[in-house]
A and B are shown apart, each in its own frame.
Chain A
Amino acid sequence: MDAVVLQLLNGLDKGGAYALIALGLTLIFGTLGVVNFAHGALFMLGAFCAVTMQKLLTLSARVKDTSVTFFDSYTDVPYLKMWFGDVGLKIIDYAVPLSILLAIPVMLLLGIVMERSLIRHFYRRPHADQILVTFGLAIVLQEIIKAVFGANPIPTPAPDIVAGSANVGAWLGLGANVVYPWWRLVYFGFSALVIAAVFAFLQLTTFGMVVRAGMRDRETVGLLGINIERRFTIVFGIAVVVAGVAGAMYTPILPPDYHMGMDFLVLSFVVVVVGGMGSLPGAVAAGFLLGILQSFASMNEVKSLLPGIDQIVIYLVAVLVLLLLPRGLFGRKGVMEE
């Protein structure tokens, strides 16, 4: 029972990340009809917003280090520590959550610039062209990050207050072995919040209503005198922000490096396809479903029955879903079927 609860938590946590990326992908596909292979790289850029925030907060003065005797060496003392003492250190400790403040404007701006300068030229081009150009963009972004930050993963710890594990077992009346890292619980809560916010924005605001109408029938909305293009540009920006904040908050779980986006990209596309192309609830449901399945497939009991199942379960499920429900779990008729 303990093991099942733990794997369920793992699944929800992983699913949260998958769902956030897939949600952004689906938003872009549903509004602009663009298959965005740079989305993993945007997740990675978000993570590097956290790294940048950490670097900014730890901007340091170089002080000669006398403990290194073999060559001249310098040690770094953060200005925040020099100016504010313990308060400064506390601010540095909260680098990751604070990076959200940096990630939102940076990613929004990047999204809008990307859409206006590159993506819009590919609306009417075949999907293969869109894939090529966005994949190329992903490689460019990765190499820029590598040139600036190096290839080694950079540790970005969570604030001390949530660094340890929560005794989930005690809450649920289970054994003491059921502990779960606080930050992962925070991440799950955060992803649920962002998903809820995106849905609320699309369902409860006039802007969202127009965007949804545009997703259904772009031409009619245009004929009503609404500048749907501009709204779609903003939606693209929002999708990029969602990927970015998902990446920034993920850094304490996975020390970021320039390649981390690619690891998520393929999985996210599988999530989108299983959920149904263009369906936002589908992307979220499939994200959590595949996250949980992947976790359960990694249990030793399951692996002893079906060796290697943990590595293929996601693709196996994708094959089964597509055989039984070719449009995916929540797919609508007419999407990508012309």
Chain B
Amino acid sequence: MTDSNRRSALKSVGAVGAAVAAPTFFMRNAWAADFRNDPSKSSTVKFGFTIPQTGPYADEGADELRAFQLAVKHLNGEGDGGMLKTMKPLHLKGNGVLGKKVEYVTGDTQTKTDAARAVAKRMIEKDGVIMYSGSSSSGVAVGIQALAQEMGVIYMCGLTHSNDTTGKDRRRYGFRHFFNAYMSGKALGPVLGKEYGKDRKAYHLTADYTWGWTQEESMKASTEALGWKTVAAVRTPLGAGDFSQYITPVLNSGADVLILNHYGKDMINSLTQAVQFGLRDKMANGRKFEIVVPLFSELMAQGAGDAIKGIFGTANWDWKLPDAATKAFVKSFGQAYGQPPSQAAHTCYVQALLYANACEMAGTFFPEQVIKHLEGFKFDGMGNGATEYRAADHQCMKDVLVVRGKEKPANKFDLLDVVQVVPRSAVDYDPKIFGGNLGPYTVS
């Protein structure tokens, strides 16, 4: 490169740099509240919905999207208002958020952490979202929650049940409304003790990733506290399809309870196959053999068909709960889509409203302020009774449902019975037990 060329190249680089920098310099409205994707100059505000549209959880993702679309409608004052009529304390006015109409973009996470991070990053950098929400896998949720902290954009988790999400991987910019494996164990333990006795022998089959490990650990802790013995805990690869080679060893292991720490397609397959191997009709140690699925959803119950009947598990929420908030939400969801919402849909709908409400309380979209208004926020009228967004780990503390696959469904949506609503006090725990650090409010 000759000298003159180099000089002109430097000049043009400098000119372009100045041109790029100048508008941002002049557009900044307040130094103190300068933050990524600030919508204050716009008449709209954009949310991002990171949901699986392909892959094993695509149906769950579709239901989450329906809920988000309904939430956006209600926030903008369209439709019948849903839970806006029951939420307390309510700061939303049905005119968008802080007077700005809510718009949204969606992205396909494919239930893969790397794809989900790419989608979330695109939403932040290209689409200019102020907040993103949704997921149906803990692997994805943990991954995009870490990204939220790096980028300084709030992430409201969708369906994620691993202890790690608000445990060792908790983040200041991530919030989880859904319950977790530890709470499932605490809620389910006493019911299992009452139904099946205190001297059972359990065999665990566990999906080999973060959620499965924490689920197994939590179920072991709560059943061993009852007096049960753990005969074996076998890890199975995610997406194994045929589980027969893992189920046959159960037959002569001496166990009389099989605990399936599987979710989604894995759970449908392993449960269907366990029933085919006669585990539901088997006698072991002089008692009837039992199967337990600590976490299952309505969509999975549909997939498993008759195999789910009589099986105990836990749920975050169920559309048949009798409270006014649930009724209002189920009514508007049912009228819009012709089917009741799943628990994945419920948690996503609530998360969108909670975020918007916190913005109204803060009077700004500035994430630090919104976070401070979500932390420790106590609310009611959203389907789970009195609930608190615990400040120490961003986990919503609330009642947990123990459910059972219904023996005689009255209709095709009526797949689960709510056996017991376990109060928050029985599933509460010290947030310190899982370690983890939320990180700073201010990110550069």
Contacts and interface: CB of A to CB of B under 8 A. Distances in A.
Interface of A: 2-3, 6-7, 9-10, 13-14, 65, 67-68, 70-71, 73, 75-76, 146, 150-155, 157, 163-165, 175, 177-181, 183-184, 252-255, 257, 259-260, 263, 294-295, 298-300, 303, 310-311
The 8 A-B pairs at the shortest CB distance, nearest first, are namely A71-B334, A155-B305, A151-B58, A165-B278, A298-B245, A177-B252, A6-B248, A152-B59
17 contacts: A10-B244, A10-B245, A67-B414, A68-B411, A68-B414, A150-B59, A151-B55, A152-B299, A153-B265, A155-B307, A164-B281, A165-B276, A179-B282, A183-B276, A254-B272, A255-B303, A294-B245
B277 A152 contact: no
Given A67-B410, A184-B244, A259-B56, A179 B252 contact: no
| Most-contacted residue by chain A among B239, B273, B304 (CB, 10 A) | B273
B323 interface: no
B48 to A, nearest CB: 22
B330 interface: yes
Nearest to A296: B245
Contacts of B246: 298
A130 B252 CA distance: 48
Contacts of B245: 7, 10, 14, 294-295, 298-299, 310
Interface of B: 54-59, 62, 232, 234, 237, 239, 241-242, 244-246, 248-249, 251-252, 265, 268-269, 272-273, 276-278, 281-282, 299, 302-307, 319, 327, 330-331, 334-335, 338, 340, 410-414
Nearest to B334: A71
A260 B241 contact: yes
A174 B268 CA distance: 31
Contact of B277 (A14, A155, A175, A179): A179
A178 B299 CA distance: 33
A175 B284 CA distance: 13
| Most-contacted residue by chain A among B252, B269, B281 (CB, 10 A) | B252
Secondary structure class of chain B's binding surface, majority of residues: helix
Contacts of B278: 164-165, 179, 181
A151 B303 contact: no
A75 B277 contact: no
Contact of A75 (B242, B302, B411): B411
B111 to A, nearest CB: 10
Given A67-B414, A260-B241, 16 more contacts: A14-B242, A67-B410, A68-B411, A71-B330, A71-B335, A71-B338, A152-B58, A155-B268, A157-B305, A179-B277, A181-B273, A184-B276, A259-B56, A263-B239, A294-B245, A300-B249
A296 to B, nearest CB: 8
B251 A73 contact: no
Contacts of B249: 3, 6, 298-300
Contacts of A175: 252
Given A153-B265, A153-B303, A155-B304, A146 B58 contact: yes
Contact of B276 (A68, A177, A181): A181
A282 B246 CA distance: 27
Contacts of A164: 278, 281
B234 A179 contact: no
Given A3-B248, A165-B278, A300-B232, A257 B334 contact: no
Contact of A65 (B237, B252, B331, B411): B411
Given A254-B241, A295-B245, A300-B234, A76 B412 contact: yes
A14 B245 CA distance: 10
B61 to A, nearest CB: 8
Contacts of A260: 241
A7 B273 CA distance: 15
A3 B252 contact: yes
A13 B248 CA distance: 13
A299 B334 CA distance: 47
Contacts of A152: 58-59, 299, 302-303
A70 B265 contact: no
A184 B275 CA distance: 13
A167 to B, nearest CB: 9
Contacts of A165: 276-278, 281
B276 A253 contact: yes
Contacts of B62: 150-151
Contacts of A303: 234
Given A14-B242, A257-B56, A70 B252 contact: no
A93 to B, nearest CB: 12
Given A75-B412, A151-B59, A2 B276 contact: no
B411 A13 contact: no
Contacts of B335: 71
B330 A255 contact: no
A70 B330 contact: yes
Contacts of B269: 153, 254-255
Nearest to A158: B276
Contacts of B54: 146, 151
B273 A253 contact: yes
A175 B251 CA distance: 11
Nearest to B319: A70
A70 B340 CA distance: 9
Contacts of A298: 245-246, 249
Contacts of A67: 410-411, 414
Contacts of A257: 56, 265
Contacts of B273: 181, 253
A327 B128 CA distance: 56
A180 B414 CA distance: 32
Contacts of A155: 268, 272, 302-307
